[in-house]
A and B are shown apart, each in its own frame.
Chain A
Amino acid sequence: MARKESKLGAGQRLKTALQWLIALAALSSSWQALADWSALNMTKGVTAISREVYDLHMLIFTICVVIGVLVFGVMIWSMLVHRKSLGHEPATFSHSTKLEYAWTIIPIFILIGMAVPATSTLRDMYDASGADIDIEVRGYQWKWQYTYLSDDPTQEVKFISSLLTPQDEVYNRTPKREHYLSDVDNPLVIPINKRVRFLITSNDVIHSWWVPDFAVKKDAIPGFVHEAWAIVEEPGVYRGKCTELCGKDHGFMPIVVKAVEQAEYDSWLAMKQQEALQVYETVGKTWTMAELMETGEQVYAQACQSCHQANGQGIPPAFPSLVGQGLAIGPIDAHVDIVVNGKAGSAMQAFAAQLNPAEIAAVVTYERNAWGNNVGDLVQPRAVNALISSEE
């Protein structure tokens, strides 16, 4: 099997793919094919549990390979030798009680051999007691929200974590960079060697929160809270994904967890708490149109664009256009209301939970004055804040 250089010019990737194929076909143990083990196998991960799971995986995998080699070996031998073309005469046996008992009973013992370690690993995974930090993980269409539970509501750190990859990379207008589709704006930050308990739930449909390096995968189900936990042993950035089909952007809501030393975690947390305070203060000042438009454009790209599109045209009928029609050029109160409260029975969410009043004011102002919507009016963050907290 001579290797031919691809002349198709369909890029380096096709060439690599062909090389993989040839290498695999030539000899499955080719070192070239196995050079990058991480592209082929489950990760060992960075927790005691994830290593247990990896060992369990390798154990069952090995057992399966051995069984496969034995059974296929017998069949292939038979196919090569017991051929009519070689003049082999058929035997006449059609059953053997001993043999049939043997291959019913022996597998049961093999299965027990697999079930024992599986059961003990599962018991370890299910014991989430004695947590040092509790974090609520909440799935949204199509992003994650993390809340660090705290007895003091002013100390509560809560933020949305969404995809960082720009649409230009997705639609091949600019080259794809490292961590394409695997990077978020606000990663979850946790300290190492601490037992972190995740309380997983959802805002809308079922999502599933999966970080392979922690061997944690739990469905996020609206109305119910499920727990999972991890003690991360090495500092690092660990990337995960949503693994339950949750609609349009199911593939575009990655998870990034940054595990850091305790000291770094403490200062990060303090910074986050400071930020929360600042947000509260920015709500108080009077904003100019330019400031609102500038902030609004950023907020729009982060929170609105995936549905209503960069040009505001949306994807009707599910995601209506904002250009030259509807609330975006209608009464400003109704416009603020739908962003704050969402629209029941539609994909439009209540953004009061996700955006601060300044961000809401900015994005509403932006929508009213972008893409040729020259309504000219603006709304101040404090007005939005008044609406949100009118009861308090």
Chain B
Amino acid sequence: MSMTNQNRQARTTLKLVGVVLSMFVFGFALVPLYDIYCQVTGANGKTASAYVVPEEGLAVDPDRWVTVQFLTNNNASMPWSFRPEVRSMKVRPGEMNQTTFFASNPTGYTMTAQAIPSVAPFHAAEYMHKTECFCFEQQVLATGEAIDMPLRFIIDPYLPESVQTLTLSYTLFDITDTTASAAAE
């Protein structure tokens, strides 16, 4: 077996090891890529982070009304009480709306929660602009503590005509354990 052949083999092997390592990294790169994909397509009805209203404002369509339904749920063993002030609102696209959600912690210890929003139908998610939302941050409530959480949002006037009802769901997750372990590190 000639030396040059050995070298060639070593080169091929190294290249392949390089491919292996970069594909391992690519696996992790799928995580941010997936987030971009969700933002572009509205997959899973995820909404964007805080919306900044353009200076000139949004054009209000005076003749169009859209129903926005609010759905609240607790995930798994989350014991908090969590409900919206109103179950649904009729809103005009382009106008700013405000409502409130209530949460309280009936347990005997301090807990941290995160609300996860999801919009149905998916393709309406990108037209749901939230300027203020409790879902942008974690909620920490001590024993027996209650909180009023405001939500301010605008429905984009470009919302497709076919969408007359839009469901905004919040699921409340108990993240006390994960935040505690992160703080301990």
Contact = CB atoms under 8 A, between A and B. Distances in A.
A–B contact (CB under 8 angstroms) = yes
Interface of A: 127-131, 134, 136, 138, 149-153, 199, 201, 203-204, 221-227, 337, 340-346, 348-350, 352-353, 387-392
Contact of B167 (A127, A225, A344, A353): A225
Contacts of B71: 136, 149, 199, 225
7 contacts: A221-B44, A225-B118, A225-B169, A344-B76, A345-B177, A346-B77, A349-B77
B94 to A, nearest CB: 20
A384 B118 CA distance: 32
Contacts of A342: 76-77, 79
Interface string B19-62: 00000000000000000000000001110000000000000000
B81 A151 contact: no
Contacts of B79: 340-342, 350, 352
A350 B165 contact: no
Contacts, number: 110
A203 B169 CA distance: 13
A15 to B, nearest CB: 48
Q: When A and B form their complex, which 10 residue pairs have the shortest distance between CB atoms, in order from nearest?
A: A342-B77, A391-B104, A341-B79, A225-B169, A224-B118, A227-B120, A223-B116, A224-B44, A151-B87, A225-B118
B157 interface: no
B176 A151 contact: no
Interface of B: 44-46, 69, 71, 73-79, 81, 83, 86-88, 104-108, 116, 118-121, 144, 146, 162-165, 167, 169, 171, 173-174, 176-177
Contacts of A343: 77
Q: Is the interface of A mostly helix, strand, loop or mixed?
A: loop
B81 A392 contact: yes
A150 B70 CA distance: 10
A348 B171 CA distance: 19
A389 B79 CA distance: 11
A227 B168 CA distance: 12
Contact of B45 (A127, A151, A224, A353): A224
Contacts of A223: 75, 116, 118, 171, 173
Contacts of A131: 165
A129 B162 contact: yes
A204 B76 contact: yes
Contacts of B108: 337
Contact of B87 (A149, A221, A389, A391): A149
B106 A391 contact: yes
A350 B74 contact: yes
A264 B121 CA distance: 30
Contacts of B164: 129-130
A247 to B, nearest CB: 13
A345 B146 CA distance: 24
Most chain A CB neighbours (cut-off 10 Å) among B46, B76, B104, B165? B76
Contacts of A129: 121, 162-165
Nearest to B123: A126
Contact of B73 (A201, A341, A390): A201
A87 B121 CA distance: 68
Given A134-B167, A227-B121, A152 B162 contact: no
Nearest to A138: B73
Nearest to B162: A129
A349 B76 contact: yes
Given A201-B118, A224-B169, 5 more contacts: A128-B120, A129-B165, A153-B83, A203-B73, A388-B106
Given A136-B71, A341-B107, A387-B106, A348 B77 contact: yes
A352 B107 CA distance: 12
B50 to A, nearest CB: 20
Contacts of A149: 69, 71, 87-88
Contacts of B146: 391
Contact of A127 (B119, B162, B173, B174): B162
B72 to A, nearest CB: 10
A352 to B, nearest CB: 7
Contacts of A353: 74
Nearest to A342: B77
Given A222-B171, A225-B118, A390-B106, A203 B162 contact: no
Contact of A222 (B46, B75, B107): B75
Contacts of A127: 162
Nearest to A197: B165
